[in-house]
Structure 1
């Protein structure tokens, strides 16, 4: 659960944000065409992108690939409170602030590797000082203006260019200007168990809500709400049998925020409570 969020926008896009989150949480990446620098101020999170996962402990940072519909950020079981700083890289903003003089780090590398989705960042002295400066401005919002936001955005880009893994960073950032396209069904099926609304899912497919519902009906012969709810309940039933996780955790992992609502829906589908379903199936 997000308990506090401070954001700064530039030309209508969120560029900098500081977020405090209590466990448990699982947050999908709702913005397909961007890259994101993530720095852990407190706690530890686990990031999952398709088949790749990485843990980000306190005082460490990662850069995430643009165009990743399929990423999710999940709380680490050992960390109850988490505080994170994000810097977002939007191609529209970068083109605007650099005009025709984009830094080399955004240009296509000679040996592009399309399989890199996430990379750790070497949080050296300069990166640490940069984060400290952002925290100062988050605490002194009256000092913020458009020119300062542009300077701070350009500053982190310059620092990333100087890190040890700059070639890998270039492979990720260059894709901001050639984002990967995903099919409608890929987007849907990689977000079945996410904590997002139908409206947000429609946004990921770049369709209006009415067009999204029509396309969904054409592909799955069902409404989005009914089909996705059933997929979540099927997954929950499977996990009840093959794992020892608590029912609360299973419900959360399958995309249910409310245990009472999950139990009601599960009973409607299986005519049993989740706990009785687990006991009966094991007994068989």
Structure 2
């Protein structure tokens, strides 16, 4: 199952700071370690309060432990937590979008005409000022007050300024500038990389750096087909192959091909192939 951040995990105002239209921060508490794939819907600054956060990219693993923080661009990541016996994993996550970064860089005269390449994530050691910031920020959870949204926006500016005042300034500035100068990614790369992830068209558009309308237009030009139709055809063809050449259950095949709604998968599979997934398997077994 693909999780999407920012989301509320345990429920209640202790876990999330948000307005009607924006999610500003999330507090995460976990007592069991597990590996999971997350779609981080906004750029994220993660403070590890206790335990270790591990980011798995290709064949490499990057670890942020208590006393470190991690900056991550919007995207899909495979993550896990390491939890020492008798303790919990705790983290504070702050969220920010492209528009916030653009305004921040412009306000503090940090814009550039050419952004240097920057990685999708950074692991940064904390310091006394950043430790004080996260402790003070945690006190806003569960609070109701006037102008809270404005305060939280100012707090986000504060932490970015603190990061830029530290020894990692060059890397952090390049990271932020690369967000504002990020060009739309190749649509074929994005679609094929995430073809079997249960992503909506809106989420694929966001990952590609496009508006939904631009994504649909560019997709039509690239594939001469509407996005939903083409993606479903590719997923169903892969599902048909798995049913014929594996012992996986129908639900496993559906989930593995990006269909979270099993009845919907069965219905469109029958529309495409004239038989249900189970009958497709049985027909192949007879042959």
- With normalisation by structure 2, the TM-score equals 0.64
Aligned to 1:170: 173
1:6 aligns with 2:9: no
Shift of 1:219: 2.5
- Structure 2 unaligned regions, length at least 5: none
Alpha-carbon distance between aligned partners in 2 of 1:21 and 1:54, rounded to the nearest angstrom: 22
Aligned to 1:27: 38
Aligned to 1:102: 109
- In the superposition, relative to structure 1, how do residues 202 and 153 fare at CA in structure 2: closer, same or farther (>3 Å)? closer
Match of 2:182 among 175, 179, 184: 179
1:135 aligns with 2:121: no
Shift of 1:124: 4.0
Shifted more, 233-242 versus 172-181: the winner is 233-242
Cα deviation 1:205-252 (Å, max 9, x = unaligned): 63455x654543342233322321233345556778999999766654
Contact 2:54 2:62 survives alignment (8 Å):
yes
Alpha-carbon distance between aligned partners in 1 of 2:197 and 2:179, rounded to the nearest angstrom: 24
Aligned to 1:73: 77
1:86 aligns with 2:93: yes
RMSD over aligned CA atoms reads 4.9
Alpha-carbon distance between aligned partners in 2 of 1:138 and 1:83, rounded to the nearest angstrom: 14
Q: Say which SS state the counterpart of residue 138 (structure 1) adopts.
A: coil
Bigger Rg over Cα: 2
Alpha-carbon distance between aligned partners in 1 of 2:80 and 2:247, rounded to the nearest angstrom: 18
Alpha-carbon distance between aligned partners in 2 of 1:238 and 1:232, rounded to the nearest angstrom: 10
Aligned to 1:229: 232
Alpha-carbon distance between aligned partners in 1 of 2:37 and 2:102, rounded to the nearest angstrom: 32
- In the superposition, relative to structure 1, how do residues 87 and 229 fare at CA in structure 2: closer, same or farther (>3 Å)? same
Aligned to 1:192: 195
Alpha-carbon distance between aligned partners in 2 of 1:268 and 1:43, rounded to the nearest angstrom: 49
Contact 1:27 1:194 survives alignment (8 Å):
no
- In the superposition, relative to structure 1, how do residues 214 and 16 fare at CA in structure 2: closer, same or farther (>3 Å)? closer
1:16 aligns with 2:24: yes
Cα deviation 1:39-86 (Å, max 9, x = unaligned): 34578766566x576455664531124xx6xx303453988x986533
RCO comparison, higher one (Cα < 8 Å, 6+)? 1
Number of residues of Structure 1 aligned to a counterpart in Structure 2: 267
Shift of 1:156: 1.0
- Structure 1 unaligned regions, length at least 5: none
